[in-house]
Amino acid sequence: MPTFELGPNQYGKAETRLVRVERGADGDRLTDLNVSVALRGDLAASHLTGDNAAVLPTDTQKNTVYAFAREFGVASIEAFAARLAEHFVASQPSIHEARVAIQQYPWQSVDGRHSFRREGGEVRTATVHHGPHGTQVASGIGGLVLLKTTDSEFHGYLKDRYTTLPETRDRILATSVDATWRCVEGFTDPRPAREALVEAFADTYSYALQQTLFAMGSRVLERCPDVVEVKLSLPNRHHFLVDLAPFGLDNPNEVYYAADRPYGLIEGVVRRDGAAVPEEVAWTF
């Protein structure tokens, strides 16, 4: 008769939406977060026999997020995530590791007091993993949409009987950047890393989105000495020239069709030579 064993497992409360308003005489400060918690530890009994004695309910995890926001505030998403992760491990003997991932949605004041507007689609991110080997922090951004109208080519690639894509010496290059970076220790100001990503995208003459990815990651490492590695996910937001010949018109790289899917997805990690990667960094939801 076959036997089975339980492999790696985790559980938690995903996507707790939290909006915190800090009231002030000179105007309010708005913080808009999406918080996800995942826990690991001595939890096999809940899977194998339904014994929940070691399980901290996910509803309790949600309540902790709200209570900590009130009691301690949100100075930064990295610090808030670290406080939560350390709490879950320290307060529950059955929990050995905690991972807290936070997305922050930007709002801009429109009157300097009580009115705000939501800024674009870009979000700040932070993921904190706390366990036996200490605390690991990965900061980042998601949904940073960039586009250049020229200075991009794509040619010299493999071709077979199914290839129909024409080579190009001038194309639109567009992407929506998801980037995370890991520091030697502690947190880092995200602004220099974001600026480095944008600048490298803009001033790199691109022969492939892969080349642009490496240039962007390298620029972050150059500008931010405390960062040891950068992980980038770059979907290629394809823009195809529209054939206007049936209408008796030319198209000198002016009219494009923006395709949302399918799309090329270019991903990679750029790290300093010899940078050690802690095993827990690979732990994902």
Residue 276 has what pLDDT?
Answer: 64
Do residues 87 and 120 share a domain?
Answer: yes
Residues 220 and 148 in one domain: yes
Statement: residue 275 has pLDDT above 80 = no
Q: Which domain holds residue 149?
A: 140-285
In this predicted structure, what is the pLDDT of residue 111?
82
Q: How far is CA 23 from CA 30, 67, 106, 113, in A?
A: 9, 17, 18, 9
- pLDDT at residue 125 in the model: 96
pLDDT band of 268, cuts 50, 70, 90: very high
Active site residue 149: no
Options 31, 238, 239, 284, the catalytic residue: 238
Query: Could you tell me if 145 and 285 lie in one domain?
Result: yes
pLDDT value at position 187?
74
Q: Are residues 145 and 278 in the same domain?
A: yes
Report the domain count for the chain.
2
Judge residue 142's burial from the number of C-beta atoms within 10 Å of its C-beta, 0-12 exposed, 13-18 middle, 19 or more buried: middle
Q: Are residue 273 and residue 202 in the same domain, yes or no?
A: yes
Here the CATH number for the domain that contains residue 185 is 3.10.270.10
The Cα–Cα gap between 60 and 55 comes to 10
Residues 83 and 185 occupy one common structural domain: no
Residue with tokens 């970076």: 181
Record the pTM: 0.85
Residues 151 and 273 in one domain: yes
Which residue of the set 13, 62, 148, 231 is catalytic? 13
11 and 101 in a single domain? The answer is yes
| Judgement on whether residues 126 and 229 belong to the same structural domain of the protein | no
Q: Which of 132, 161, 183 is the last residue of a domain?
A: 132
Question: Which residue among 93, 112, 132 closes a domain?
Answer: 132
- Which positions ≥6 away from 79 have C-beta within 8 Å? 187
pLDDT tens digits, one per residue of 232-266: 999 999 999 999 999 999 999 998 999 989 999 99
**Mean of pLDDT over the chain:** 92
Residues 66, 204 share a domain: no
Catalytic (active site) residue 58: yes
pLDDT tens, position by position, 70-87: 999 999 999 999 999 999
Q: Do 261 and 157 lie in a common domain?
A: yes
Contacts of 41 (CB under 8 A, 6+ apart): 54, 92, 94, 95, 96, 97
Active-site option among 16, 31, 58, 231:
58
Question: In the annotation, is 87 catalytic?
Answer: no
Please tell me the distance from the alpha carbon of residue 13 to that of residue 88, in angstroms, as a whole number.
Answer: 12
Last residue of a domain, one of 132, 165, 188: 132
Residue 1 near residue 69 (C-beta atoms within 8 A): no
Taking only the tens place, the pLDDT of each residue in 46-79 is 999 999 999 999 999 999 999 999 999 999 999 9
**115 and 206, same domain (yes or no):** no
